[in-house]
């Protein structure tokens, strides 16, 4: 059942869980949060606040975005472990880069 208040935009970018170097893929995002798929289960649980780095494709010309998300849900979707996170902290400069990602994927 869908509980989002804001539409998410389908996307594709690489993601790194900063503390553990788990690699994943950004699946969708909006101004409140994002969904990330990992091949290897990351050592996190619902409620954890984690640092992630979104690495957009070079041709977009958007710098990497580092942000803090709070894990809201987790589920197995073979072959991935999917995590949904709400933005917890986004510094000003990173906020501008995140807005650039949102703008790109809205189109």
Q: In this predicted model, what pLDDT tens digit does every residue of 70-91 receive, in sequence order?
A: 999 999 988 999 999 999 877 7
Instruction: Provide the number of structural domains found in the chain.
Output: 1
In the structure, how many helices (H) and strands (E) does the chain have?
Answer: 1, 6
Q: What is the pTM of this model?
A: 0.82
Q: What is the CATH number of the domain that holds 98?
A: 2.40.10.220
pLDDT for the residue numbered 51: 94
Identify whether 68 is part of a domain: yes
pLDDT at 66 over 80: yes
The DSSP H or E segment spanning 93 is helix 92-106
Residues 41 and 43: their CA atoms lie apart, in Å, by 7
Identify whether 86 is part of a domain: yes
Identify whether 48 is part of a domain: yes
Beta-carbon count within 10 A of 18 CB? 14
**Residues forming a β-bridge with 81:** 38, 76
Q: Are 100 and 84 in contact (CB under 8 A)?
A: no
Domain that holds residue 20: 9-106
Q: Minimum mean pLDDT among 28-32, 38-42, 46-50: which range?
A: 28-32
Q: Is the dihedral of CA 60, 55, 101, 94 positive or negative?
A: negative
Identify whether 75 is part of a domain: yes
State mean pLDDT over 28-53.
93
């Amino acid at each position: 059942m869908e509980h989002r208040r804001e539409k998410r935009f389908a996307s594709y970018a690489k993601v790194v869980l900063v503390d553990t170097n788990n690699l994943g893929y950004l699946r969708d995002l909006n101004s409140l949060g994002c969904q990330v798929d990992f091949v290897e289960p990351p050592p996190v649980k619902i409620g954890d606040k984690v640092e992630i780095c979104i690495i957009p494709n070079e041709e977009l010309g958007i710098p990497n975005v580092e942000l803090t998300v709070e894990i809201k849900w987790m589920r197995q979707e073979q072959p991935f472990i999917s995590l949904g996170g709400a933005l917890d902290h986004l510094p000003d400069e990173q906020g501008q880069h995140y807005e650039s990602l949102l703008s790109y994927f809205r189109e």
